[in-house]
Amino acid sequence: MEYFVQQLINGVTLGAIYGLIAIGYTMVYGIIGMINFAHGDIFMIGAFVGLIAFLILGLAGITWVPLALIIVLIVAMLLTSVYGWTVERLAYRPLRGSHRLAPLISAIGMSIFLQNYVQILQGARVRPMPPVIQGGITLMETDAFVVQLSYVQILIVLVTVALMATFAMIIARTPLGRAQRACEQDRTMAGLLGINVDRTISLTFVTGAALAAVAGILFLVYYGVIDFYIGFLAGIKAFTAAVLGGIGSLPGAMLGGLLIGLIETFWSAYFTIEYKDVAAFSILVLVLIFRPTGLLGRPEVEKV
Amino acid sequence: MSLAEAAPMSPKIVVPSGARPLLTVEHLTMRFGGLVAVNDVSFAAGDAEITAIIGPNGAGKTTLFNCLTGFYKPTVGRLSLDHGERQFLLERMDDFRIAQKAHVARTFQNIRLFPAMSVLENLIVAQHNALMRASGYSVFGLLGIGGYRQAESDAVDWARYWLEQVNLVDRADDNAGDLPYGAQRRLEIARAMCSRPVLLCLDEPAAGLNPRESAELNALLTYIKEKHQIGLLLIEHDMSVVMEISDHIVVLDYGSKISDGTPEFVRGDPAVIRAYLGEEEEDEIPPEVAADLAGEAPPGGEGEGR
Amino acid sequence: MAVEAGKRAGSIDGVDLQALFKEAGLAAFVAFGLAISVVGVRTVTIPGGLGLEYRWEWVVIAVAAVFIGRFVLAFRRETRSPARRAEREATMDRIGAGVQKVARIAGPLLFIFAVALPWMPFSNRYIVDIATLVLTYIMLGWGLNIVVGLAGLLDLGYVAFYAVGAYSYALIAIHFDLSFWICLPLAGLFAALFGVLLGFPVLRLRGDYLAIVTLGFGEIIRVVLLNWYELTRGPDGLSGIPRPSFFGLPFSRRVQEGSDTFHTFFGIDYTSMQRIVFLYYLILALALITNFFTMRIRRLPVGRAWEALREDEIACRSLGINPTNTKLTAFAIGAMFGGFAGSFFATRQGFISPESFTFVESAVILAIVVLGGMGSQIGVVIASVLLIGGTELFRELEQFRMLAFGGAMVAIMVWRPRGLLAHRDPTLRLGAAAKGGGP
């Protein structure tokens, strides 16, 4: 029982991170109908920017954790969204209206580029970071097992919930959100109605990248180690989450992220930790076979 | 589907001219969420006849086509195709099986060719299933044994025949994507015919054609009907095409059938005039079409083959 | 985008320089945002944790380069007529067509060269080894070209089939003691079977799902190979894989009692080159089989259906082509050739481990296909020689290799989406067919 509760906590934490990345996939898919393969790498860059920012703040003497964390989050969101913007501008925008394989190949090329870019600039070895936030609350205690809810986990869930709420507001209430939803429905029509489609798409990439940066920082504080390769697996899993929740659906992305986090954690806890990545992947295939629209997705009517 | 099985062929659906029905549509309904795109439509299309489906934009014509050719699964209804020796219930078949087994071919409103392949290759791909059998599902073809060579050469002859009909022989080795618009439309029809259909469904074949091309299209469609004795189903806005060549017209409005009969009958049907011709006369009928309706032949038109 | 030329002061040839400066400045500002973090600061491991290293000069260089580059590009854009783009497309297509025409003549010459290579005066062990490696990638590229270039299915986990082929070959050869010529087809069949199992559920869906599923599958295969210790010996890898024999005659120095080896049978002296040259001819033959197969199947109905599916799936369905089965054949055949190449890899190395089958390999093979021009056989050859042979020669640049591949993939998609040398000749012509008999 205690073990179960502990795994539940860990699963939700991991799921929150996946969910944040999955939003980026789902938004981009919703608006331009392609998988942004480079999104996982944007997440990885976010983590590196976060690490650098933490270290600089440390050297500058800002060690009060809440302040440092807020500064790091803001800096990383800003600088990572520049990457999101640039990727869209260089690799995807010129390809609108090209044949259907072109943006996919361009995206995978971008992903390979970014991975190696960071590897060359930052080195191939893993980067450990000393724990920023320590301690936690003991929820249950028996002789054999202690259920811990660490402060980091609380932080991750709080930040995620707060961001999700803000984000849902942006989509529902602001002009940007309206433009975004309009472009999702019909890009040509939205353009005719005076919406700047290019800018809306750019902003979609920017917000996606900012959320991925947050996910990267949360990943960094949670695990304490990052390398240039973390974006690859996290990307596949977050994409699985987006598909599971129903690609194109924002609540779906969050729900899918949670489920993937839980499944992965419980799989590792009760079956074999080595095959945890296989679990997520098997789910992807199963969902695609039995319910390609995901849990909360709308069926796609094929345009003939 | 249960409804279609339960409902007997109650009031017999017949072709106005009395021809043998090739395609019988019974109680076809297609819903997308709350939207009813096609609502309880029944009609029959005769063998070796041209049946036109007309109606204002959004009347459900293309949806009807997509149900017929299997791209959509109808919510309710039965679509039966009667070859004479064999019958097919199209609503139960996958899209490619409808083309493969029931021999229903179609064209698309916004032309769908294989743009990076040559014109001739487009027509050879249309004969895929026959050639697959001839090549022993590629096994014999790879080894170079069996009658594949002969089959391919026959396929080229058949393609050449259709290229001659649509006047594209000299463009045979060019990429389909490089053809002008009107030629692409003709090629799409030729490609559909290459698959040796018993029913050819044409989705706005005259859209974007100039009057001369439009007249040539009339001649081609009439030729197909008379020479090859197959049924044609036609969605069209161009009244010069519809009135001149159709044997039978079905009128849809807001997903429902409002009229069904010979061109003369439909032209005089008050329901049609009210819903389609009358109220929106200025929008729907440009002067040259109105002239065609009055029976004036378009300039440069060849014989209508009647 | 277009600047209203010549309206304001400070213009050359009617180009508004001020606007260009503004545009370049904006690009430089973005570059600054990109570079300030991961370029300008490097995390380094120091005793007791992590330290930082600052490289502000790199940031300055990057920003300056972007400013100048953007300015030049924008200037060229303004001064050139828009017709240039279409002209360039046409030129590139002519080049593609030209290369293909040359290839038709040069192909046999290239073949003769390839056959003669081990006997050339300049040839040595190193060169034959590199040539073998290049040929392996040519074969992989040709195999993947069937899937990506012809059928238009983006397979991002091609290395998985390479791995399946290598491991099935190794396991069959080690445990059942069968000869290379029996294990090879079996390994190919296994790989094809995996292709079918994986492809069946996803090939009916949109193309991008296939891409991500294959990407995941490539990774999963590696995870399984790493962890299924009883079968694959995990990270230790499989060693002692039987070497190929020349129709039963092994290449070994020592002669076993009562049996012949290659050199005793032919009465020549033993050198270690014999095996290396044999392996070279083996992969040459395998690659040529792949090429021959592809050229031939392109002219069969199934090959045309692959290309038609790449062009327009809905139209294919309206013509009675079963899309799932047709894609599945392409996927399985591509997997099979990947499996053959994997068998060759296993027998050549004598040792395999999961390390050889990472995503990077898939990416390299995809880069070969994409850069060479999707669907172009000669393009694959040229790209393999340049990418594999080239990086072998410049080993010190190894770490920039993948960076360049990734960047090149993006650039080529933007610049010429069908690939550099993409040019397609029809598989049959009315003219040729009229004279009785296909090409």
Q: What is the pLDDT of residues B11-32, one digit of tens each?
A: 577 777 777 888 888 888 888 8
pLDDT of B14 reads 77
pLDDT of A188 reads 81
Burial code (b: 16+ CB inside 10 Å, e: under 16) for C291-322 equals bebbeebbbbbbbbbbbbbbbbbebbbbbbbb
Contact A304 B32 (CB under 8 A): no
Tell whether ipTM is more than 0.90.
Answer: no
For tokens 């330290």, name the residue.
C51
For tokens 């997705």, name the residue.
A297
Asked if C178 and C229 sit in the same domain, the reply is yes
Asked if C45 and C109 sit in the same domain, the reply is no
Identify whether C429 is part of a domain: no
Q: What is the pLDDT of residues C53-73, one digit of tens each?
A: 888 888 899 999 999 998 888
Helical (H) or strand (E) element with C207: helix C207-227
What DSSP line would sit under A97-118, residue for residue?
Answer: TS-THHHHHHHHHHHHHHHHHH
Q: What is the pTM of this model?
A: 0.82
User: Per-residue pLDDT averaged across C183-205, rounded?
Assistant: 88
- E runs forming strands in chain A: 127-128, 136-141, 146-150, 225-226
Identify whether C4 is part of a domain: no
User: Per-residue pLDDT averaged across C182-188, rounded?
Assistant: 89
For tokens 């729900």, name the residue.
A255
Q: Pick the residue with more confidence: A302 or C221?
A: C221
**Residue B91: which of B102, B80, B101 has the closest Cα?**
B80
Asked if C251 and C341 sit in the same domain, the reply is yes
Asked if C28 and C147 sit in the same domain, the reply is no
Identify whether C3 is part of a domain: no
- The residue from C58, C82, C106 where one domain ends is C82
pLDDT of A282 reads 82
pLDDT of C6 reads 41
Identify whether C2 is part of a domain: no
CATH number, residue C266: 1.10.3470
Percent composition of chain C: helix, strand, coil (DSSP 3-state, to 5): 70, 5, 25
Three-class DSSP category at C291:
helix
pLDDT of A304 reads 61
Dist CA A75 CA C36 (whole Å): 11
Asked if C32 and C115 sit in the same domain, the reply is no
Q: What is the pLDDT of residues C94-118, one digit of tens each?
A: 777 777 777 777 778 888 887 877 7
Dist CA C145 CA C155 (whole Å): 10
Identify whether C432 is part of a domain: no
pLDDT of A65 reads 81
Q: Pick the residue with more confidence: C84 or C234?
A: C234
Give the sign of the dihedral formed by CA C77, CA C82, CA C83, CA C87: positive
Asked if C381 and C303 sit in the same domain, the reply is yes
pLDDT of C218 reads 86
Testing the interface with A: which of C208, C227, C365, C371 to mutate, by most A Cβ within 10 A? C208
Residue C435 — very low, low, confident or very high, per pLDDT cuts 50/70/90?
very low
Cβ atoms within 10 Å, residue B268: 12
Which domain range does residue C172 map to? 92-420
Asked if C121 and C78 sit in the same domain, the reply is no
Q: Which chains touch A (3 or more CB pairs under 8 A)?
A: B, C
- The residue from C42, C62, C82 where one domain ends is C82
**pLDDT of residue C274 exceeding 80:** no
Q: What is the pLDDT of residues B252-265, one digit of tens each?
A: 888 888 888 888 88
Burial code (b: 16+ CB inside 10 Å, e: under 16) for A23-38 equals bbbbbbbbbbbbbbbb
**pLDDT of residue C123 exceeding 90:** no
**pLDDT of residue C122 exceeding 90:** no
pLDDT of A19 reads 92
Question: What are the residue boundaries of the structural domains of chain B, listed by start?
Answer: 1-103+199-306, 115-196
Dist CA B233 CA C87 (whole Å): 43
Amino acid at the residue B209: L
Cβ atoms within 10 Å, residue B263: 18
Report the number of distinct structural domains present in chain C.
2
What DSSP line would sit under C382-438, residue for residue?
Answer: HHHIIIIIHHHH-GGGHHHHHHHHHHHHHHHHHH-TT-TT-----SS-HHHHHTSS-
Q: Which two tokens stand for residue A257?
A: 């992220």
- The closest CB to that of C410, out of A52, A109, A119, belongs to A109
CATH of A2-290, one of 3.40.50, 1.10.10, 1.10.3470, 1.20.120: 1.10.3470
Contact B69 C300 (CB under 8 A): no
Asked if C33 and C59 sit in the same domain, the reply is yes
pLDDT in tens, chain A (304 residues): 778 888 898 899 999 999 999 998 988 888 888 888 899 999 999 999 999 998 888 888 877 888 888 999 999 999 999 999 999 999 998 888 777 788 888 998 999 999 999 988 888 888 888 777 777 777 777 777 778 888 888 889 999 999 888 888 888 888 888 888 888 778 888 888 888 888 888 988 999 999 999 999 999 989 888 888 899 889 989 988 998 888 888 888 999 999 999 999 988 888 877 788 888 888 888 887 788 788 887 766 666 6
Asked if C71 and C177 sit in the same domain, the reply is no
Question: Which chain C residue shows the shortest CA-CA distance from A104?
Answer: C208
Identify whether C119 is part of a domain: yes
Contact B118 C431 (CB under 8 A): no
Is B69 in CB contact (< 8 Å) with chain C?
A: yes
* Chain A / chain C CB contacts < 8 angstroms: 182
Q: C326 to each of B128, B238, C308, C334, C428, how far by Cα in Å?
A: 11, 38, 10, 13, 20
Low-confidence ranges of chain B (pLDDT < 50): 1-10, 280-282, 296-306
Contacts (Cβ under 8 Å, ≥6 apart) of C279? C132, C244, C344, C347, C348
Contact B124 C428 (CB under 8 A): yes
Is B71 in CB contact (< 8 Å) with chain A?
A: yes
Testing the interface with A: which of B63, B66, B73, B114 to mutate, by most A Cβ within 10 A? B66
The pLDDT > 90 percentage for chain C reads 19
pLDDT of B151 reads 83
Identify whether C436 is part of a domain: no
Asked if C272 and C198 sit in the same domain, the reply is yes
Q: Pick the residue with more confidence: C346 or C106?
A: C346
Residue C254 — very low, low, confident or very high, per pLDDT cuts 50/70/90?
low
CATH of B1-103+199-306, one of 3.30.830.10, 3.40.50.300, 3.60.40.10, 3.10.110.10: 3.40.50.300
Q: What is the pLDDT of residues C371-418, one digit of tens each?
A: 887 778 888 888 888 888 777 766 667 778 888 888 888 988 888 777
CB-CB contact of A241 with A40 (8 Å):
no
